[in-house]
Each structure stands twice: as structure tokens, then as C-alpha cells.
Amino acid sequence: MALGIGDDAALLNIAAGQQLVVATDTIVESVHFPPQATAEQIATRALCVNLSDMAAMGARPRWFTLALTLPRSLANAKWLEGFSQGLAAVAEQYDIALIGGDTTAGPLTISLTLMAEVPGSEALQRNGAKPGDAIYVTGTLGDGAAALEMINSSDLTHSKRLLTRFYQPQPRIEAGIRLRNIATACIDISDGLIADLGHICMASGVRCNIQTELLPVHQELQQLWPEQALDWALTGGDDYQLCFTVPSSYRQTVDQWIESGDFDATMVGQILAPDSSNNLVIVDGDASPDIKRGFDHFSH
């Protein structure tokens, strides 16, 4: 970085042979986080979910900008201190620098622009999946939806693990970097497995089949919400895990990583050749499963 905060704009030095990866995301109160969330929780979640986009590209995050819209009721030293602490903790953990931004008055909204580096031609994308590729996901699925259910519920269910998963999801930066030149396509799971796999299929011109018996669902969800756990794993969203496809030539490599405990991922399905139908994502061989299809901002 040649010039950071303090001037009209930042100046960034990009290493030779590197591409700059840029993504902007916005989180809004009562849409992406509940009104009762603390300033520190909001900041932590905002930066973590944006870092997940960089993980999905196989990129190393370097810098970010922040646009904070703040109601006057929160424009006080205590709230801003908590927000700054949450932001700084995540920035330090992932070695990224805040290089600029803006603050305005209005409904609580946080917009972040993340910038990352990736070696030329090695960025992971959505459009490379081929028939016969295996589909994998990192971590466990359904935790984000379960956490939101717990936060919004009036019952006494409380799980520190789920609260952490919601307010501090761990972006899979190192996993994305490791998958460079191995995964044919990759996306982070923000809107739900079915919806996000649909994006891969649409971009790649293929279909896929998910096997629900293979889905990695944490035992806690199966015990506390046995009736909802599967739907949450398929459509709940907010998991910020990676979903990626692997050709047969690299299946053994990835499976060996998993078996050695060196890589937290699970094979959950297969990419199929396209057909004349509009069913991009098939679940257990059923082209029209009786489940929701994922989160849509404009359907609520």
C-alpha cells in the first residue's frame, strides 16, 4: 500500500503477476443481523461475510473500505468503540488493512468493499464445472439458519457454537487458496446450498444432483431441530462455507486431504450434463423436491 487513509483516495501497489479481486457487499439491520446485535457483533459479522467472497475466489485479502450509515441514536462513543473493536479484531486476524470509507446518517447499514490478490489466471470462478465433477462443501451446513432461529426464538435454547457461527463465521480463506488449480468452480454458501449451487450450474451450463444423506449437518442441529435440520442445510443460507467442484483427476487428492484430517470438506453430489429442463439442482434424484429454493432478498 503506497497511501492509506488520510487523502482523497488510497494508492495500492499490486505485485507483478497478480490480479486484483474486488467485491462489495452490504448488510442491513433486520435483514442480515437482528436489531439486538451489539456493535461489536455487527462489525465482526460484516467483515467476516465479506471475506467469505474472497475465499470463494481463492484470493488473499489485503485491503477494505467501509461505508457506515448510522442512525443518530447510535452515533456515540460507546457504540463506535465496540464497532471499531470488532472490525479491528477481524482485520488483524486476516492481516487486512482499512484504507478508506465514509460515514453518513441514516438507517443502520454497513457496506464493505474488499480487495484481494490472486496469481494471474488462478482465481476460482463459478463457470468451470463439468459433468462428472464431484461437488464438495466445507464445514457443516444449516448452522446459520439454526443460529438465527435460536436468536429470534423466545425459548431457552442457547448454543455458544451457533452464536459464534452467526456473528463470526470463519471465512475459508486458506481452503480457497488451496483449491486454486484444483477446483473447477467455487462459490460461498450465503443464500443456501441449493440456491448457490444453482448459480454454479447456471454459469457453467450444467445440472447437478445433491445426495441429502451425505450432507454434513452438525449433531447439535439434528438433536435440537430434527424436523428443520435438513431444509436448513439445503436452503437456510448464512453458512459462509465453500461449495466447490472437483474433476475426477483431483478427486483422490482432495479425498486424501480429507481423510488425513487436513481439510474439512465433504463430498455431497455430482455435476450432471445439461438437459432440456429448467431444473438445475436435483435433490436425491428428484427434479422437483418439496423444499424452498434459497434466500431471495426481493421475495420478502
**Plot region of 187 (φ>0 → left; ψ -120 to 50 → alpha; else → beta):** beta
Residue 205 in grid coordinates: 451450463
Indicate the average pLDDT of the chain: 90
Report the CATH number of the 18-119 domain: 3.30.1330.10
Does residue 297 have a pLDDT over 70? no
Least confident of 23-27, 80-84, 133-137, 142-146: 23-27
What is the DSSP-derived secondary structure letter of residue 263?
A: S
Element (H, E) at 164: helix 160-167
| pLDDT reading at 240 higher than 50 | yes
Residues 83 and 38: their CA atoms lie apart, in Å, by: 8
Of 65-79, 96-110, 151-165, 230-244, which has the strongest mean pLDDT? 230-244
Where in the sequence of the chain do the CATH 3.90.650.10 domains occur?
134-294
Residue 286 is predicted with a pLDDT of 82
pLDDT score recorded for residue 36: 82
Q: In the block, which residue shows the cell 488462478?
A: 122
The residues, any chain, with a CB within 8 Å of residue 252's CB and separated by 6 or more, are: none
CATH architecture of the domain 134-294 equals Alpha-Beta Complex (3.90)
The reported pTM is 0.91
- The backbone torsions φ and ψ at residue 183, rounded to the nearest 5 degrees and listed phi first, read -75, 140
Start-end of CATH 3.30.1330.10 domains in the chain: 18-119
pLDDT of residue 156: 57
Dihedrals phi, psi of 114, to nearest 5 degrees: -100, 140
Name the pairing type of β-strands 60-70 and 97-105.
parallel
DSSP characters for 26-74? EEEBTTTB-TT--HHHHHHHHHHHHHHHHHHTT-EEEEEEEEEEE-GGG
Asked if the model's pLDDT at residue 296 lies above 60, the reply is no
